[in-house]
């Protein structure tokens, strides 16, 4: 099969022929029809993720058809249209048994723990637990755009942030996760403020109904407080830096909820937090990491009804060859929305 493979961290990926995966007893092999290109893939390429072993094929935002299944798989057959959470469970550990396979103690992640979706096929273990059935109305490019960004934002806004109609929500960072969060929060009836330094991304956020704030032009926290009077009820750090994490906490109203989604890696890991403010204002600090496969149904219903339109976040659909080249430039955010490889 054809795949984009890199043999050393930070080396140019090359598109080449590699062996096709063969399904383990509990697994399904997916014929990849579309795969998102995410900044997390760039972190894998940079060598920031300890799970990645060389040589490696990245890609974790996968949609396609089941090509084959192992002998123990009960719920899936070749031809089924599916997508996959970016963090998959084993089915047997403490967290999986309690309904939390997205934070499995023995997780697998295509594109990280094993070869991913920058390829014509990918294997997904524990298929009965980890595959998500796609309605016919949801195309493969749209499904790939859910990936780790839209689905992660859905859990962050709906389940972790508990956003309600009429509340103020701030989104720090308007990449794929942030723009998804803007769209979802607005669909729930919230008032949304979007913060970024990229005028193009701020313009997209404004089209989705957010009040834009350019972080290069003044005090972000003061501007948010000026707009809202008391601060926001929910604030999402969708970028992942000391500055965005700090601003997200400081812009909260009393008893507000900070949700950390953006990865804090390398020099940005372990930011100092204003715990005095957290205590005094009874703030909540929540992490959000992906979403369980069984929780996709409400999201897919909203997409089918037209309440959510993740396809509007897709700015570029590219070939595998172009996607492999773009991977090396994701630290510079080359596109205004989500880029998807289509096979």
Domains delineated in the chain:
2-148+291-342 (3.90.180.10), 162-287 (3.40.50.720)
The residue among 295 and 336 whose pLDDT is bigger is: 295
pLDDT in tens, 152-176: 999 999 999 999 999 999 999 998 8
Overall average pLDDT of the 287-298 stretch:
95
In percent, how much of the chain has pLDDT > 90? Answer: 90
How much is the average pLDDT of 268-290?
94
Q: Is the dihedral of CA 9, 14, 16, 21 positive or negative?
A: positive
- State the sign of the Cα–Cα–Cα–Cα dihedral 80, 114, 94, 63: negative
Residues 277, 303 contacting (CB under 8 angstroms): no
Give the β-pairing of 191-196 and 168-172: parallel
116, pLDDT greater than 90: yes
Confidence band, pLDDT 50/70/90 cuts, at residue 270: confident
- Section 103-108 average pLDDT: 96
d(CA 113, CA 290): 16
Q: Given pLDDT bands bounded at 50, 70 and 90, which one contains residue 336?
A: low
pLDDT at 338: 87
Which pLDDT band, with edges at 50, 70 and 90, does 109 fall under?
Answer: very high
Q: Which among 303, 301, 292 has a CA at the least distance from the CA of 100?
A: 292
Residue 44, phi then psi, degrees to nearest 5 = -60, -45
Is 263's pLDDT higher than 90?
Answer: no
What are the tokens at 33?
């029809």
Q: Which residue has the tokens 């989705």?
A: 208
pLDDT band for 40, please (50, 70, 90 cuts).
confident
Closest CA to 174 of 217, 143, 204: 204
Mean pLDDT of the chain, nearest integer: 95
Confidence check: pLDDT of 112 > 70: yes
State mean pLDDT over 100-127: 97
Mean predicted confidence (pLDDT) in 227-251: 96
Is a pLDDT exceeding 80 seen at residue 337?
A: no
**pLDDT reading at 200 higher than 80:** yes
pLDDT at 334 (0 to 100): 67
In this predicted structure, the answer to whether residue 148 has a pLDDT above a threshold of 90 is no
Binning pLDDT at 50, 70 and 90, where does residue 269 land?
confident
Which of 188-214 are b and which e, b meaning 16 or more Cβ less than 10 Å from the residue's Cβ? bebbbbbbbebeebbebbeebebbbbe
Question: 179: how many CB neighbours lie within 10 A of its CB?
Answer: 31
- Give the integer Cα–Cα distance in Å for 197 and 46: 23
What's the mean pLDDT in 78-97? 97
Task: Tell me: pLDDT of 73 over 70.
Answer: yes
């Amino acid at each position: 099969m054809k795949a984009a493979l890199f043999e050393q961290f930070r080396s140019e990926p090359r598109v080449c022929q590699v062996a096709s995966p063969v399904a383990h007893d509990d697994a399904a092999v997916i014929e990849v029809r579309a795969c998102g290109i995410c900044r997390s893939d760039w972190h894998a390429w940079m060598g920031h993720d300890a799970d990645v072993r060389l040589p490696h094929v990245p890609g974790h935002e996968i949609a396609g058809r089941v090509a084959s299944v192992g002998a123990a798989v009960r719920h899936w057959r070749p031809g089924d249209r599916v997508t996959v959470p970016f963090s998959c469970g084993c089915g047997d550990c403490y967290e999986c048994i309690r309904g939390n396979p997205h934070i499995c103690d023995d997780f697998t992640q295509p594109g990280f723990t094993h070869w991913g979706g920058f390829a014509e096929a990918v294997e997904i273990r524990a298929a009965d637990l980890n595959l998500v059935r796609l309605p016919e109305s949801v195309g493969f490019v749209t499904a790939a755009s859910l990936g780790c960004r839209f689905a992660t934002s859905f859990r962050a806004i709906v389940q972790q942030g508990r956003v309600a109609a009429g509340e103020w929500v701030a989104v720090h960072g308007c990449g794929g996760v942030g723009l998804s969060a803007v769209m979802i929060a607005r669909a729930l009836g919230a008032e949304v403020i979007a913060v970024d330094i990229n005028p193009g991304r701020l313009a997209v956020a404004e089209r989705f109904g957010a009040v834009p704030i350019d972080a290069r032009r003044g005090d972000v926290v003061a501007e948010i407080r000026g707009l809202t009077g008391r601060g926001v009820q929910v604030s999402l750090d969708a970028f992942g830096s000391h500055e965005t994490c700090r601003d997200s906490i400081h812009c909260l109203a009393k008893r507000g909820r900070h949700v950390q989604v953006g990865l804090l890696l390398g020099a940005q890991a372990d930011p100092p937090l204003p715990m005095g403010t957290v205590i005094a204002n009874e703030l909540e600090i929540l992490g959000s990491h992906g979403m369980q496969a069984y929780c996709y149904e409400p999201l897919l219903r909203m997409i089918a009804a037209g309440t959510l339109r993740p396809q509007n976040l897709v700015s570029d659909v590219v070939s595998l060859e172009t996607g492999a080249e773009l991977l090396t430039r994701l630290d510079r955010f080359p596109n205004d929305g989500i880029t998807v490889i289509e096979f």
